[in-house]
Structure 1
Amino acid sequence: MTARLLRACSTFASRCVLFFALLLAFASAASADVAVPQLTGRVVDQTGTLSSSDLASLNQKLRDFEAKKGSQVAVLIVPTTQPETIEQYSIRVADAWKVGRKKVDDGAILLVAKNDRHLRIEVGYGLEGALTDVTSRRIIDEVITPKFRTGDFAGGISDGVDRMIRVIDGEPLPAPARSTSFSNDFSDFGPVIPFALFASLFVGGILRTMLGRLLGSVATGGVLAALAWFMVGSAALALAVGAIAFLLAFIADLFPMATGPGTGYSRRGSWSSGSSSGGGWSSGSSSDSGSFSGGGGSFGGGGASGSW
């Protein structure tokens, strides 16, 4: 009798231990920190709050500002940061994304935790003199949250970003370096292709007639590279356009379709007059499409938080 009672007590105790272990496991899983999302673009919306046109407009605005000023500004919308405070989560995002230029530290992040009704502007070291805690709080209180309270999240974020950009634009910062990365520059390559093709035939025909096949082709490549540099401001893209222009000008008379009356080339490689149609091109839409990455900027917790 005593032995059976002891075995029953032991079994009950074992089940209690297992039950509490399972409760602890579920509690730990429920309280796990929210993962920092991958930086796939200047605007990352995990809530579906912004429409595709809102995303495209914001991305283009932030991309243009980076090209002009060098500073990187990013927007992140998440459902919640719980169990962390928005300040704790925001600094984890800043450490993971590293927006802003390395050693300039001119990055800023606008973070919105929609279900928590909290938001924060996280400011890199290099912008703390302009985008101060007080200024950040005023942007939140006076620009963003009034629109959030009416349900206009897209308008609040857009206006808040505009105000952040204006404040940062007044800060003396190093000029943005000319891009030399092919991986980033080729996102702008699409609209330039029709221009390179048409201009190579047009300019190449004139210069080949004046300078000969080899020198004329080299001159064509140089002229088109200079034009691409002026239009886009990218050394890598200018070199690519120049190389394509040289090649097209050099081999144009080897292809019958490229030497007809519509191209300006005669079959002997000389330039002949003729009308050309379809010489224009349309600009393509621009988006981050996963190519955006932080520049190595550092953050120290500067900025401000708010709620609505």
Structure 2
Amino acid sequence: MQQNEKNEINTNPPKAEFTKFDLGESDLPTLKNVVNDYESLFTIEQLEKLTLLIREYEKKTSNQIAIVSIKSIGKYTDFSQFAIDLSNYNGVGQKEKNNGLTIVFSKTLRKIRISTGIGTEQILTDEICEEVIEKTIIPEFKKGEYYLGIEKGITELMTKWE
């Protein structure tokens, strides 16, 4: 049992909080951070670096980026639709600007998708996103360098997006 500051015994056990996704009731997780590593592919230092990079970029531009690694897409059969729905479900990007970008990838499923808001896709077209995936991110992923692939990919996207 835990003791509080007054040395009294605390009989209330700590509460575990689960989301509908954690409990298998929803196929879409609620993103709690700008980098959501559900496959545990990044070290703490890598998570911190990516988070700082994304937050600094958002301060400078107001554009929002979310990174999600995921083992499963639940009942979904289309990875691209999962990525779009995940981004919309979590409201990535400012509503009035539609300036969000979500990179969803899965080492387990060997899939990756960049989902953009309507305002974003006017600059970062599907062709540009596909090129970044094919020429920048996937070559690093093939070497097992998931952090490097994502870091290089978002850096390139940020440069093109400004």
TM-score for both structures, normalised by structure 1 = 0.43
Letter matched to residue 53 of structure 2: K
Matching of residues 91-170 of structure 1 within 5 Å: 91-169=84-162
Higher relative contact order, chain-length normalized (CA < 8 Å, sep 6+): 1
Q: 1:140 to 1:34 in 2, by over 3 A?
A: farther
Which residue is 1:46 aligned to? 38
Structure (1 or 2) with the greater strand fraction: 2
What are the Cα deviations for residues 124-145 of structure 1, in whole angstroms up to 9, with x where unaligned?
0001121001000000000000
Q: CA deviation at 1:162?
A: 0.6
Task: Indicate if the aligned counterparts of 1:94 and 1:122 stay in contact, CA closer than 8 A.
Answer: yes
Name the aligned partner's letter for residue 41 of structure 1: N
Q: Which runs of 5+ in 2 are unaligned?
A: 1-23
Deviation of 1:35 (Å): 2.0
Could you tell me which amino acid in structure 1 is paired with residue 46 of structure 2?
A: D
TM-fit CA distance, 1:33: 8.5
Q: Secondary structure at the match of 2:131?
A: helix
- Residues of 1 paired with 2:34 and 2:53: CA distance? 10
Gaps of 5+ in 1: 1-31, 170-308
Deviations for 1:203-243, whole angstroms, at most 9, x for unmatched residues? xxxxxxxxxxxxxxxxxxxxxxxxxxxxxxxxxxxxxxxxx
What SS does structure 2 have at the residue aligned with 1:100?
A: coil
Larger Rg: 1
Task: Count residues with an aligned counterpart.
Answer: 138
In proportion to residue count, which structure has more helix? 1
* C-alpha distance in structure 2 between counterparts of 1:81 and 1:35, whole Å: 6
Q: TM-score, normalised by structure 2?
A: 0.81
Q: Which of 47, 52, 67 is 1:55 aligned to? A: 47
Is contact 1:34-1:81 (8 Å) kept? no
Q: 1:122 to 1:129 in 2, by over 3 A?
A: same
The answer to whether the 8 Å contact 2:27/2:73 transfers is: no
Residues 157-196 of structure 1 aligned to structure 2 (within 5 Å): 157-169=150-162
1:131-185 deviation digits (Å, cap 9, x = unpaired): 001000000000000000111011001111111111111xxxxxxxxxxxxxxxx
Aligned to 1:85: 78
Q: State the one-letter code of the partner of 1:149.
A: K
RMSD: 1.5
1:33–1:146: structure 2 CA closer, same or farther, 3 Å change rule? farther
